[in-house]
Amino acid sequence: MLIEQRPSGDSEVIALVVDQQVELRARDGGREGHVYAVDPAARYLVAVDGGDAVACGAILALDIDSAEVTRLYVRPRYRGRGVGRRMLAALEDLAASRGHRVLRLEAGITAPEAISLFLGAGYRPIPRFGRYVKYEASRCFEKRFDDPGRDVRVVRRAAPDTAVAELVSLSADEAAYRYGDAEARTFPLDPNAKFVLATVDGVGAGCAAIQPLDDQTVEVKRMYVRPAYRGNGLARRMLAALEDLAAGSHYLFIRLETGARQPESIRLYESAGYRPIPPYGPYVHSPLSLCYEKLVIAPEAIASELA
């Protein structure tokens, strides 16, 4: 499934918005205020599966710091598959990329599944705002991405659970967007890979893994942080956790590959003590690949490890 940005005048955006409003009117008995037209000021995303537009959503700037998630809709036959959750994550990433640090949204009491989605994604109830103030059936929510009181954790996962699988999928989508080749950036994972998951207030914000290359070396794979959570040190914390995991499993070296179009990753790895090495394995013939290595066990321990 691909999630892509579309202009407000896109025919599939318009069709999805109309279908959403028809469903909302049927649910709440025709509450005054339903608007069937798209808002040209909003920025729309569409989820495409097998060539079909199956979901949409948009962000609408409220001020410099905040934006509203609106028009979030998944066609009925695609519900229950995590599409809404992926759309919401993509909208958060879009908002963050535009400098918004606060997201607000509204759901009616006739849409309990939407309310559950928002609460599960870390949104907190707030008083009704803007045009929703006059609607008793409206429930409004907010999520902040710069709250210093957030609960940030990095935990180990022996196998990819639902949260990790979602982040891995988002990572592949971003890599395909950056490099224009879905196959070139999705090298397979070893079934023995071990994951770490970064959470913020219980919400999956980033993931990474290590997988064995040989008896002495592991490789970092699938290092990814949602854009909304970048710039807060999550990648560095996950990298440190992977190094601890590798050392605890008696590996001496940790290797990784990143792309030439990811300067932020290059800065992270070089500042963490990784040194450039020649391309290895599947990256030998990849012109955009940059490879690195780091010793993760102290030199004085090497003799005992090799004995």
Mean pLDDT of the chain: 85
> How far is Cα 111 from Cα 199, in angstroms, rounded to an integer?
27
| pLDDT for the residue 115 | 92
Q: Quick one: average pLDDT of 169-192? A: 72
> How far is Cα 279 from Cα 256, in angstroms, rounded to an integer?
10
* Cα distances (Å, whole numbers) of residue 82 to 44, 50, 142, 184: 19, 16, 21, 26
> How far is Cα 168 from Cα 181, in angstroms, rounded to an integer?
16
| pLDDT for the residue 305 | 45
Give tens-digit pLDDT for 237-295: 899 889 888 988 889 999 999 999 888 899 889 888 899 999 999 999 989 999 999 99
What's the predicted TM-score (pTM) here? 0.59
CB 54 within 8 A of CB 13: no
CB 17 within 8 A of CB 24: no
CB 4 within 8 A of CB 48: yes
Q: Indicate if the pLDDT at residue 16 is higher than 80.
A: yes
Q: Indicate if the pLDDT at residue 298 is higher than 70.
A: no
| pLDDT for the residue 299 | 44
Q: Quick one: average pLDDT of 205-223? A: 94
Residue 182 CB neighbours (<10 A): 13
pLDDT band of residue 133 (cuts 50, 70, 90) is: very high
263-271 vs 234-248: helix crossing angle, rounded to 10: 50
pLDDT band of residue 177 (cuts 50, 70, 90) is: confident
Output the CA angle 267-273-277, nearest 5 degrees. Answer: 85
- What tokens were used for 112? 């309990």
Same-fold call for 2-144 versus 152-306: yes
Give tens-digit pLDDT for 19-51: 998 888 887 766 554 555 678 888 999 999 889
Residue 136 CB neighbours (<10 A): 9
Q: In what order do the strands lie in the sheet with 152-157?
A: 152-157, 194-200, 203-212, 217-225, 253-259, 289-295, 275-277
Q: In the beta sheet, which residues pair with residue 289? A: 259
> How far is Cα 183 from Cα 166, in angstroms, rounded to an integer?
18
Which CATH fold would you assign to the domain 2-144?
Aminopeptidase (3.40.630)
> How far is Cα 283 from Cα 289, in angstroms, rounded to an integer?
6
Give tens-digit pLDDT for 92-120: 888 887 878 899 999 989 889 999 989 88
Domain ranges of the chain: 2-144, 152-306
Q: Indicate if the pLDDT at residue 4 is higher than 80.
A: yes
Region 152-306: CATH code: 3.40.630.30
- What tokens were used for 228? 């909304």
